[in-house]
Amino acid sequence: MQKLFLIVSLSFLIFSCKQNTVQKPQQHLVSDTAMVVSANRLASKTGIDILKQGGNAVDAMVATNFVLSVVYPRAGNIGGGGLMIIRTPDGKATALDYRETAPLKAHKDLYLDESGQVIEGLSRNGGLAVGVPGTVAGLYAAWQKYGHIKDWSKLVMPAVELAEKGFAISESEAHRLNKYKDDFLKWNPDNKTFIKDHWLKGDILKQPALAKTLRMIAGKGPEAFYEGPVAQAIVDKVTKSGGIITLEDLKKYKAKFRNPIVVPYKDYTVISMPPPSSGGVALGQLLKIVSHYPVKKWGFHTYKTTHLMVEAEKRVYADRAEYLGDSDFYPVPVDTLLDDAYLEHRMADFDPLKATPSDRIFAGEFELHKESFETTHISVVDKNRMAVSCTTTLNSNYGSKVIVDGYGFFLNNEMDDFSAKPGVPNQFGLIGAEANAIAPQKRMLSSMTPTIVTKDGQLFMVLGTPGGSTIITSVFQTILNVIDFDMNMYDAVQAKRFHHQFLPDYIMYEKKTFDKAVMDSLKQAGHKLKQVKYMGIVKAILVKDGKLEGAGDSRNKDDDVEGY
């Protein structure tokens, strides 16, 4: 009996130690068969487990997403939305849009005061910032059409178990929970799950209310979220927090399959997201523009290459502000924006020796709000080379900061991605026009750029990233790093980045991106520069010589690659 007691005690001690240990993620891996890259080791491992059980890339993506809603609450979510590109083994690709929508009671002047000025913060915090969530509907739609595992609950239950048993939080998650404590208290005074005196790395986060919600979703699918008690709780909390979402909004929500943006780049084909994402169009424009210049010969981060890329970015982001929005509501001129003659005309005033001031491209001036990276991305490739590139978000850290009472999940603040007023920037400093004005059931414009690249009809690369307005340029640079500058996947992801978004008129760059000679040349040409901590957190997989090379981004210490 004493021996049995010692064994049980030892087992409990070992379990407790494991629970209180944050295992170090791996950010670079080469494997033969299949791979998952995500923002958390527990999520990536869950995806690999699903693949080993006979699931395909979509099954793995769904399971990974649900686990991220537990272990990565600042961006992983069931209260937000996302976009994904799916490519089947036979080479067919589709885009799935499960972006949030504006409530039925929303209108163009929702965030303006009586004098027509934007009310600061109204679209970012509290119930009025919340768009109708799309994540649960989107993940279910992807599984229903492409999943291989027949039992939906198998894809959700790993997340249920983690929410119930708890997990050891990372240092970065502890930092964010502490940072937003006052916001949690303001909007959720009775919810103690995410609030304590001070979170530390290794503390166990248990989420019984979220576990209950996920268990309901495992049993009934989207119906458990968009109808019944969960839906009523969403409406009650949003209303209590000043918002306008109704039961009708939730019941009417639908995820949509769309035709992806497909553009050639040299010997490659790039497949990315159509509107309401600006990502695919903008990425396609950038790649088409630089394809006419010898950037490979010019070299990585030289003056010539950087100047060209920046000048292209200015023009592309100006187009984004003017023309891009939800194509179900606004006639987005996609074909024109990607037309070779149009792009040649856009670059007609490009001067290789001088910067073009942004006020000559489009008028306007403002200050850039602090960048956010609280979106997350998953890249998956399975044994049959089916691939999924999926970007999902709550928008800001923990979205609107509003938690649904009794059900344990954060709601997004995606309404800020609309143009509250033409010419007035959102939290990422991005401006917009009528194309992205608020309207009932409209989907807000996004920068999310889930992307798949092929070569000679075969899968070549899967990638995407968080990073707000820098998403597009981070994906753009990573593709060039591999194709033009001959980097492996890991080096391409870790390479220093820069960004220009037309307004404000300066180049953002990471420390040590450029040497002094290049910096001096850029300044002499008339460019303004501003150093930032980092931009983009790319998660990517490269298919080369029959093997898979996966890379997480060292800019986020929690990024993890798993494969077999």
SS3 of residue 254 by DSSP: coil
Q: What strand order describes the sheet that includes 547-551?
A: 28-31, 547-551, 539-544, 458-464, 451-455, 268-272, 261-265
Name the E strands within 382-450: 387-393
Please count the CA atoms within 13 angstroms of the CA of 174 that sit on its side-chain side. Answer: 15
SS3 of residue 74 by DSSP: coil
Catalytic residues: 375
Q: How many whole angstroms separate alpha carbon 192 and alpha carbon 194?
A: 6
Cα–Cα nearest to 205, from 1, 408, 399, 7? 408
Token pair of 215 as six digits: 């268990």
SS3 of residue 310 by DSSP: helix
446: which DSSP letter? B
Cα–Cα nearest to 98, from 217, 285, 220, 226? 226
The pairing of beta strand 387-393 with beta strand 375-381 = antiparallel
Letter for the amino acid at 17?
C
Q: How many whole angstroms separate alpha carbon 496 and alpha carbon 59?
A: 33
CA 360 to chain centre: 31
Whose tokens are 């340029």? That residue is: 473
222: which DSSP letter? T
